[in-house]
């Protein structure tokens, strides 16, 4: 049986704003059940089928209002959803500033606590190439974890794609200017004009992959719904 136009439009709008398919299904099902209760109420009051449909739609309200109500409710569950500027514009620089120095300081603190600081220093000097692999792996991991986290938060709290794009852009800008230098006598972390293109490109690649997967999920969901309507 073909579903009401209001429900179809609600599903379409939720899909357009990037709402995950599972959550979209839950919202649409909830609204459909509520609409059916309203329609039944109108039928029991003596209205005809068409009048009952109109009554149910009027009680539900405009689709855009419903979408706004559901997205606001989702975002209010967490400060990450309520404050997108904090999540997507303030959080990335803070995490990047703290990531590598924080991990390095934690390792040295643990080594000193265990009394192995001197031994680790000697090991570093002997295995400098291996140390470089570890150091750069730690640094690169931030450019994978942070953009992926931002995309996940945008998806979870149904924020517009522009917010995830803003966060990934800030991540890429950080990668453009940050510099790590490692020699047998020095480990430096700072900013300069010697970009590592892996750190510049990775946030954009993660955003592109996330956007592609989100669009494909929405298309598969829309296709499955159309198939169900024809049954």
Domain boundary among 76, 102, 132: 76
In a domain? residue 223: no
In a domain? residue 23: yes
Same domain, yes or no: 47 and 13 = yes
Same domain, yes or no: 112 and 172 = yes
Same domain, yes or no: 71 and 37 = yes
Same domain, yes or no: 67 and 131 = no
Same domain, yes or no: 98 and 144 = yes
Same domain, yes or no: 117 and 207 = yes
Same domain, yes or no: 106 and 186 = yes
The answer to pTM > 0.85 is no
Count: domains in the chain: 2
The whole-number pLDDT of residue 1 equals 52
Q: Among residues 8, 4, 16, which one has the least CA distance to residue 214?
A: 16
The whole-number pLDDT of residue 226 equals 64
Distance CA 167, CA 186 (A): 32
For the chain, 231 residues long, give each residue's pLDDT as a single digit of tens: 567 888 888 888 887 777 777 788 888 889 989 989 988 888 888 888 888 888 888 888 888 888 888 888 888 888 888 899 999 999 998 998 888 777 766 666 555 655 555 565 665 656 667 777 777 888 888 999 999 999 999 988 888 888 999 999 999 998 888 887 766 666 667 778 778 888 899 999 999 998 888 878 777 776 776 666 565
Same domain, yes or no: 84 and 72 = no
Domain boundary among 35, 60, 76: 76
The whole-number pLDDT of residue 52 equals 86
In a domain? residue 227: no
Same domain, yes or no: 129 and 204 = yes
The whole-number pLDDT of residue 71 equals 87
Burial class (CB in 10 A: 0-12, 13-18, 19+), 88: buried
Question: Range of 15's domain?
Answer: 5-76
Same domain, yes or no: 60 and 148 = no
Residues in CB range of 58: below 8 A, 6 or more apart: none
In a domain? residue 226: no
Strand-pairing partners, residue 189, are 180
């Amino acid at each position: 049986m073909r579903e009401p136009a209001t429900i179809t439009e609600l599903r379409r709008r939720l899909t357009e704003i990037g709402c995950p398919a599972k959550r979209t299904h839950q919202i649409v099902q909830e609204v459909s059940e509520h609409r059916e209760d309203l329609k039944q109420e109108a039928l029991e009051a003596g209205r005809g089928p068409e009048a009952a449909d109109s009554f149910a739609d009027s009680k539900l309200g405009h689709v855009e209002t419903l979408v706004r109500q559901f997205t606001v409710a989702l975002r209010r569950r967490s400060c990450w959803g309520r404050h997108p500027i904090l999540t997507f514009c303030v959080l990335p620089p803070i995490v990047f500033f703290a990531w590598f120095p924080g991990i390095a300081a934690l390792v040295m603190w643990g080594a000193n606590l265990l009394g192995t600081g001197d031994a680790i220093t000697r090991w570093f000097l002997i295995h400098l190439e291996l140390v470089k692999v570890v150091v750069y792996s730690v640094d690169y991991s931030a450019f994978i974890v942070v953009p992926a986290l931002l995309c996940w938060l945008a998806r979870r709290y149904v924020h517009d794609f522009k917010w995830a794009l803003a966060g990934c852009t800030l991540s890429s800008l950080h990668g453009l200017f940050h510099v790590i230098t490692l020699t047998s006598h020095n480990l430096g972390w700072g900013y300069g004009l010697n970009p590592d293109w892996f750190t510049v490109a990775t946030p954009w690649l993660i955003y592109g992959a996330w956007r592609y997967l989100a669009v494909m999920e929405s298309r598969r969901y829309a296709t499955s719904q159309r198939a169900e309507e024809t049954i």
